[in-house]
Amino acid sequence: MSTLKKFAGQTAIYGISTVASRVLNFFLTPIYTKVYATKVYGIFTYLYSYASILNAFLAFGMETTFFRYLNKKEGEKDAIYNNTFMVVVFISVIFITSSLIFIHPIASWIQDGKETSLADYTIYIKYFIFILVVDALSVVPFAKVRAEGRPARYSIIKMTNVFTFIGLNLLFIFVIPFIIEHHLIFAESLKSWYRPQWIGYVFISNLVASGLTFLILIPELLQIKFKLDKKLLAEMLNYSWPVFVANLSFIINENMDKIFLANLLPPEISEAQTGIYGACCKIAVFLSIFIMAFRLGAEPFFFNHAKNENAKKTYAIIMNYFILAIVLIFVGVVANIELLKHFIGKDYWIGLSVVPILLFGYVSLGIYMNLSIWYKLSDQTRYGLYISGVGAILTIVLNILFIPKYGYMASAWISLIAYTSMMVLSYILGQKNYPIPYNLKGNIVYLSLSVVLVWFSFVFFKRDLIIGNALFIAFGLIILYFERHQIKKLLSSL
């Protein structure tokens, strides 16, 4: 249990910073959805979806490769760090050069008949090019911080990024308009360049926050030696390219629906529909926060613990606790959706029916991410490519077929189908190639019960707060009763 104690401690620190940063960011959602019209928020959703996909290209799976090779070749830490960072630098240079050369054709292709001007799209894309490069160059130094077991430093840097981003958003959205409206000091100067309700200020805030994060990581960056170990690099690239394709496929599953909504629906409604869907996706943030916090703590722990005799048993125990936590959050979020909906503007409430579907998709995704450790530890990363590829193909084909008729409801169901397919496929392949003694029957029971309770809460009882929370509490008590011995053992060890 001492290993679980270490895992829980690090995950708790990552979790606190992740929860805090994502919740603080979440509080910008009601501001955005009230300040910006649905079509303007659609631009926000659309461009960040493209950015997420490009992030996978720039990182090229180097984060996972870094953790794996630190565990695999303990005596070559410096060479591993240098190699992974130099790969990202090389890709970033190619990306920024080619993007700036072809920026006008890219902007014209993205704009393609939408109401927002081509000039604005060109400016937005410039901002995103630099955001993406700066974020990519921070990936490996961040991984180094995590690998060295310094979650406190990681948390401080992340929170600095978030507070900078939020502070600049508030400055552009509220403070500058207030100064101009009340003719305070610098009002005339600010009025000469300030554009009310311009979404570009969100992207400027992001760029400044990312730049500051990069500067804070200078101590880690100064430890890099700009030289390559070619033999080791070839081996690492052989490991990383399937991870890259798997990550890319995963991000396609996560973001391609929003891009398809913007392009497959008629131009006069596409930005608004994308904005509604993107805002409702934000309500699912509470579940995705938990998944992200878990991944930040779990990935380095799983690699470091791989050589232990009881490693597989530990992974199975962690999965049990993970599912208990994630189904509780799933039921709890749906039970309180009538409260959470106030974090987005009323114009966006029409899309609330997608939230339970998206949430269960995140449940499947979280379990898949937990399961995926088998092919990373056994150096069979090609399976990650196959599994994520199946999800990506489902996402692309089904969205193209059904979005024109069913809009964002199709996107929500397709997201669920893709993640659930990946989860099931990963479990089946994992048990054949790297068997871990998961409690399959018990986990399926809890997953099924959570779906039933969510259906009653959201559909049958029509989102009633009191009944929904009564079901949530009852579910918690059921889990507490049947898992009381395991929970008592865990708490005593912590």
Q: Which token pair is 332?
A: 């709890």
Question: Quick one: CA torsion of 394, 295, 220, 232, rounded to 10 degrees?
Answer: -60
The per-residue pLDDT for 1 is: 47
Provide the pLDDT for residue 241: 81
Domain holding 107, by residue range, is 2-493
Residues in the chain with pLDDT values less than 70: 1-26, 112-116, 296-300, 304, 306, 490-494
pLDDT confidence of residue 151: 77
Per-residue model confidence (pLDDT) at position 400 = 92
Is the Cα dihedral 76, 296, 313, 427 positive or negative? Answer: negative
pTM for the whole structure:
0.72
- The predicted pLDDT at position 215 comes to 95
Number of domains in the chain: 1
Buried b (16+ CB within 10 A) or exposed e, 74-111: eeeeebbbbbbbbbbbebbeebbeebeeebeebbeebb
Closest-CA residue to 8 (of 303, 317, 286, 306): 317
